[in-house]
Amino acid sequence: MDSLLTSMPKVELHRHLEGCIRTSTLLELAKGGAIDLPTRTHAELDSLVKLKGPMAGLEQVLAMFGLLRTAFVDLEAVERITREALEDALHRENVRLLELRFSPDFMFGLNNVSWEYGLERIARTCRTFEAETGGTFAVGLVVIASRGLGLLSVRRTAEFALAHRAELAGFDFADGEKDNPAAQYRELASAFHKAGLPLTVHSGEDGGWEHVRDTLELLRPARIGHGVHAVDDPSGHTLELLATRGVCVEVNLVSNYLTGTVARVEDHPLRRFLGAGVEVALCADDPQLLDTDLLREYEAARTAHGLTLSDLVECNARALEASFLSEEKVAPVRRALLDWAAEHIPPVQRSL
């Protein structure tokens, strides 16, 4: 099963660049004098930047990000980390379509890197990597506004994204939903809709079902990140909204377990989403930080929720259709996925 899962062409819609930094890269950056680390031992550093067991909450994970954000010290480091994230996705997981997201303020705010040059370097690294793979791998960038950094930061990030619309696949509001109600981003969301920049929002992770409902009603995103607490709405209305509006939920099983959003992977409402007709994309969130990848996520979906190989292909197909990337980039991946399904899944089990 492992090699079969590995060989499946995959779509990843929810992955943070800040959560893709290899421990070995951090150590090499420190060795070269670019950054300071509390330790130079691989195992010790791993324990500081990787979550191996459940933490008390999202805030603690964000603190780990605090150490990781120092790594984007200059453009060279930005390029290296981006390139390694792409290599890991393609070579270790066989991801063929990747939406990579990052928060410019979080990533560059502490470092002496301009947002413009940072984005330019990330975009160029992605284009070069795509070209090297001869069209078998597609990547798009999603800029994140970190709600936790305050409204001014969110506004600045939104303006930045709108000014660089041509280089971006989409926009995301992330972290700290609980203290930052959707209503305050309503005008920004309208500006994105007007500019044709697709929107996804981290919602229903630390925030409750009311946050998901408000996000859907007020911000009208095409996708929701996590969405876990949408199922807690006793009226079922929020779940229904997700289904009837065709809003894809970017599900992150391991992440939700490790951040304490669910007590066990088995407690994740994945089956309820599927049962209600909600589009679901299985994603890895922060592969290095959470010590996961799509293979581990698929394995968790199989063992904890009974998803079959055919279901996993179906989730990939849904993710593909919910991608913010152009049809030109999506089409070859669709062909690869269909070919793979035709070869590995008996016709009777195939829904594609």
- In the complex with Zn ion, the residue whose CB is nearer, 93 or 99, is 99
Site for Zn ion in 279-318 (CB under 5 A): 285
Residue 109 Cβ vs Zn ion, minimum distance, rounded to whole Å: 18
Site for Zn ion in 42-71 (CB under 5 A): none
Q: For residue 276, which of 216, 230, 217, 220 has the smallest C-alpha distance?
A: 230
Q: Which residues of 119-144 are buried (b: 16+ CB within 10 A; e: fewer)?
A: bebbbebbeebbeeeeeebbbbbbbb
Residue 65 Cβ vs Zn ion, minimum distance, rounded to whole Å: 11
- In the complex with Zn ion, the residue whose CB is nearer, 93 or 206, is 206
Residue 174 Cβ vs Zn ion, minimum distance, rounded to whole Å: 6
In the stretch 266-285, what mask flags binding to Zn ion with x, by CB under 5 A? -------------------x
Residue 51 Cβ vs Zn ion, minimum distance, rounded to whole Å: 13
Q: For residue 219, which of 246, 191, 196 has the smallest C-alpha distance?
A: 191
Residue 224 Cβ vs Zn ion, minimum distance, rounded to whole Å: 11
- In the complex with Zn ion, the residue whose CB is nearer, 99 or 233, is 99
Question: Given the structure tokens 């780990």, which residue do they identify?
Answer: 64
Q: CA-CA distance, 40 to 28, in Å (whole number)?
A: 9
Three-class SS of residue 303? Answer: helix
Number of residues lying near Zn ion (CB under 5 A): 1
- In the complex with Zn ion, the residue whose CB is nearer, 85 or 345, is 85
Q: How many residues does the chain have?
A: 352
Residue 14 Cβ vs Zn ion, minimum distance, rounded to whole Å: 6
Q: Which residue is nearest to Zn ion (CB)?
A: 285
In the stretch 110-149, what mask flags binding to Zn ion with x, by CB under 5 A? ----------------------------------------
Cβ atoms within 10 Å, residue 277: 12
Site for Zn ion in 148-177 (CB under 5 A): none
Read off φ and ψ for residue 323, nearest 5 degrees: -65, 150
> Tokens in use for 33?
């004098």
- In the complex with Zn ion, the residue whose CB is nearer, 223 or 329, is 223
Q: CA-CA distance, 305 to 262, in Å (whole number)?
A: 14
Question: Given the structure tokens 């795509």, which residue do they identify?
Answer: 130
Q: Are the C-beta atoms of 189 and 179 separated by less than 8 Å?
A: no
Residue 297 Cβ vs Zn ion, minimum distance, rounded to whole Å: 13
Read off φ and ψ for residue 129, nearest 5 degrees: -65, -45
Site for Zn ion in 225-254 (CB under 5 A): none
- In the complex with Zn ion, the residue whose CB is nearer, 285 or 311, is 285
- In the complex with Zn ion, the residue whose CB is nearer, 224 or 315, is 224
Q: How far apart are the first and last CA of the chain?
A: 21
Read off φ and ψ for residue 101, nearest 5 degrees: -115, 150
Q: CA-CA distance, 338 to 341, in Å (whole number)?
A: 5
- In the complex with Zn ion, the residue whose CB is nearer, 203 or 238, is 203
- In the complex with Zn ion, the residue whose CB is nearer, 158 or 228, is 228
Residue 283 Cβ vs Zn ion, minimum distance, rounded to whole Å: 8
Q: Are the C-beta atoms of 37 and 49 separated by less than 8 Å?
A: no
Residue 350 Cβ vs Zn ion, minimum distance, rounded to whole Å: 31
The alpha carbon of residue 81 and the mean position of all alpha carbons in its chain are separated, in whole angstroms, by 16
Site residues (vs Zn ion, CB under 5 A): 285
